[in-house]
Amino acid sequence: MTQLAVTGLSKAFGGRPVLTDVDLDVPEGSLTAILGPSGSGKTTLLRIIVGFEHADGGRVTLGVGFGWNTDELADHGVPAGRRRDVLREYLAGMESLWSAEEASFDGEFVRFDASWAWPKTVSQPRPPVLVGAIGGPRTLEWIAASADGWITTPGEEGIGEKVAALRAAWQAAARPGAPYVVGLGGKPDPAVLAAWAEAGVDEVLFGMPDRSPDEVVAYLGRLAAKLA
């Protein structure tokens, strides 16, 4: 599952382009190094990702999840049985920083006194929050109550039924609109994609091979031909 995706990111200072149509994809569990000479835009890219700068164009998508590695959770002070509660507080604390001129939060797991953080997000009171997790009933209800959409897991089955359950939970929570759903595609099957679209999947992501640029471009061509 993608934990960070940067799409078409652009930024200029005083009319001088610093970033132009930058794309970056960081899969879950991986480390990515950004290399380049001084002035190439590395710092600007990182500042946009963490929210210290507004981009002129493009999109940064950050994935969130409850966590599955119980040893890692314990090392970070997260009780395994309280993963959803901890994430809810993390997001509520961040929403305060994203929206309030003077932010503060006093929860069980997250606490901070009066704090000031700029720039604020363009979308208020928070940017869209998509949760990547197996679509069980408890998770779908959590998304309807505390997030804005769902990212499926690789090989997830019963997508149509789960999207319907998510929409039902969404309505029960009196949320306006509809949840945004991103499906992680496996084999490029047009019939499957059509069924997903009918069910309410908004976007589908396909993994790219870890190969040379020419091989990746060739793969994209084959993928496009199968889905045409």
Quick: pLDDT tens for 171-191. Answer: 999 999 999 999 998 888 999
188-216 pLDDT tens trace: 899 999 999 999 999 998 888 888 989 99
Q: Which residue(s) pair with 16 in the sheet?
A: 13
Question: For residue 155, which amino acid is it?
Answer: G
Q: Is 99 strand, coil or helix?
A: helix
Residue 2 has pLDDT above 70, yes or no: no
Task: Say if residues 3 and 63 touch (Cβ distance below 8 Å).
Answer: yes
Burial (CB count within 10 angstroms: exposed 0-12, middle 13-18, buried 19+), residue 16: exposed
